[in-house]
Amino acid sequence: VPAVYELFYWPGIQGRGEFVRLALEDAGAPYLDVARLSGRGRGMKAMFALMDGPGTRVPPLGPPFLRHGRFVLSQTANILLYLGPRLGLVGRSEPERLHAHQLQLTLADLVAEAHDTHHPIAVSLYYEDQKAEAHRRARHFVRERLPKFLGYFERVLVKNGGRYLVGRGHSYVDLSMFQILDGLAYGFPRALTRLERRIPRLLALAERVRARPRVVAYLASPRRMPWSDDDLFRAYPALDQLA
């Protein structure tokens, strides 16, 4: 019997865990969202115990991480590199898998830069204690970095035929692109609206992903947590300034 997938991530936010959740959900894979459960071997305590546990050969610096049998693996893109072939969410050839990974790592860079708009100086400080720097950082993000990243992914998509970001079919990269556009619509609605006509194929891709039956079911379920201002993307209007 193949071991059930166990995801470990902060309960209460979508965060980086959501890229892994979406893949598991879209594939209809049995999994446990361990830190959100209670009982023996579950919850946040279990998450911390595993991070520092003697059985964890290479400990993660932080969540998300995945346990599959006795194998523990962290880094979002790395987890998806592992899950992709097992869930049928990437093509078969090595070049295609590595290109999917390339795109996923680039999405992770975008996620980090979006995060750093509200935490430009230190993750350990509140947004309120780094507001001036946050505003300055966000201005460059919205004007320079976001158009660059989204323009890049639009080009990649068009070059690949316009339907999928990589290979000949749906992949975890398409799911992650959907998730990021959903987060941007929450955190940077004005900036995204301004860019809309430059990324028509990406937006169409996100709508196709949103309409996938298992994604529809997942988004309507209590397993999908709402966006909030404790998350990667935050609805701070001061950061969503175009001028």
Ligand X SMILES: N[C@@H](CCC(=O)N[C@@H](CS)C(=O)NCC(=O)O)C(=O)O
Chain positions contacting ligand X, by CB under 6 A:
15-16, 61-64, 75-76, 108
Q: What are phi and psi of 204, to 5 degrees?
A: -65, -40
Residue 113 CB, shortest distance to ligand X, in Å, is 12
d(CA 105, CA 122): 22
Question: Which residue, 145 or 201, has its beta carbon nearer to ligand X?
Answer: 145
Residue 76 CB, shortest distance to ligand X, in Å, is 4
Question: Which residue, 63 or 120, has its beta carbon nearer to ligand X?
Answer: 63
Query: Which residue lies nearest ligand X, judged by its C-beta?
Result: 62
Question: Which residue, 58 or 211, has its beta carbon nearer to ligand X?
Answer: 58
Cross-strand partners of 66: 7, 73
Q: Cβ neighbours of residue 99 under 8 Å, at least 6 residues apart?
A: 166, 167
Residue 17 CB, shortest distance to ligand X, in Å, is 7
Question: Which residue, 164 or 233, has its beta carbon nearer to ligand X?
Answer: 233
**How many of the other CB atoms lie within 10 Å of CB of 146?**
22
d(CA 65, CA 157): 29
Whether 49 and 25 have beta carbons less than 8 Å apart is answered as: no
Question: Which residue, 53 or 169, has its beta carbon nearer to ligand X?
Answer: 53
Residue 66 CB, shortest distance to ligand X, in Å, is 11
Residue 224 CB, shortest distance to ligand X, in Å, is 17
Spell 106-129 as b/e; 16+ CB within 10 A means b: bbbebbebbbbbbbbeeeeeebee
